[in-house]
Amino acid sequence: MKTIKNIFFSSWCALLPLVVFAADGESDMDSLPALMPYPQQLTPHSAAPEFILSGNSALCFRNSPSNRLRAAEARFRRRTERQTGISLNAATRCDTPCVAGNISVVELAVTSEDAPSTLGELSRAGDAYQLEINPQRITLSADFEVGILRGLQTLSQLLGIQRANAASLQPMTINDRPRFRWRGLMLDSARHFFSVDTIKRQLDGMAAAKLNVLHWHLTDDQSWRLQSHAYPRLHETAPGGNFYTREQVADIVAYAFDRGIVVVPEIDMPGHASAIGVAYPELMSAPGPYTPEDHWGVHKPLLNPANPAVYTFAEKVFAEVAELFPFEYVHIGGDEVNPEHWEANAEIQRFMQTRQLPDSRALHNFFNRRLSEILAGLDRKMIGWDEILHPGLAPDAAVQSWRGPDALGDIARAGHNAILSTGFYLDQPQYTGYHYRNAIIPESLEFTDVQPGEQWQTWQFSAPRKRGSPVSGTFTLIESRDGELRGVMKFSGKTPQRLRGVKRAGPYTHFSLDTWMGPLRARLRLNNKTLSGEFVVGNAPYHPVGEQIGGTQAEHEAPVFSGAQHGLTDVQVENILGGEAALWAEMVDEHTIDLRLWPRTFAVAERLWSGEDLQDEAFLYRRLPVIDRWAEAALGLQHRSQQAAALHHLFPKSLQSQALAFSAVLEPAHYYHRHHEKSVHETYSRRDPLNRFADSLPVESIALRELRALAESLPRDPTSAIDVESLQPGLLHLWRAGVAAQSLRQHAEALPADIRKLADLVDQQMELGFLITARFVERQPFTPNEEVAVRAQIASLKGMHGEVVLPAVYVLERFMDRLQYSGPGVNNNTDKQHD
CA-CA distance, 665 to 697, in Å (whole number)?
10
Whether 649 is catalytic is no
Q: Are 584 and 427 in contact (CB under 8 A)?
A: yes
Per annotation, catalytic residue among 272, 364, 435, 676:
272
Peptide bond between residue 807 and the one before it cis (omega within 30 degrees of 0): no
Q: How far apart are CA 681 and CA 467, in angstroms?
A: 11
User: Is-contact 317 228, C-beta < 8 A?
Assistant: yes
Active site residue 26: no
Contact (CB, 8 A) for 676 and 649? no
CA distance 170 to 155: 11
Q: Alpha-carbon distance 381 to 110, whole Å?
A: 31
Max distance between CA atoms of the chain, in angstroms, equals: 89
Q: How many CB atoms lie within 10 A of CB 824?
A: 9
756: number of Cβ within 10 Å: 16
Bridge partners, 383 (sequence order): 331, 398
Length of the chain in terms of residues written: 835
| CA–CA distances in Å: residue 130 to residues 19, 54, 154, 155 | 45, 22, 10, 11
How many angstroms separate the CA atoms of 534 and 700, rounded? Answer: 21
Cα–Cα distance, 109 to 84 (Å, whole number): 24
* CA-based nearest residue to 190, from 275, 102, 87: 275
Catalytic residue selected from 143, 336, 343, 617: 336
220, 293, 387, 632: which one is catalytic? 220
> Catalytic site residue 220?
yes
Q: 739 CB contacts (<8 Å, ≥6 apart)?
A: 661, 766
User: Bridge partners of 500?
Assistant: 512
- DSSP states of 603-664: HHHHHHHS-TT---HHHHHHHHHHHHHHIIIII---HHHHHHHHHHHHS-GGGHHHHHHHHT
Spell 65-82 as b/e; 16+ CB within 10 A means b.
bbebbeebbebbbebbee
DSSP assignment letter at 823: S
User: Any idea what DSSP says for residue 801?
Assistant: B
For the annotated catalytic residues, the residue numbers are 220, 272, 336
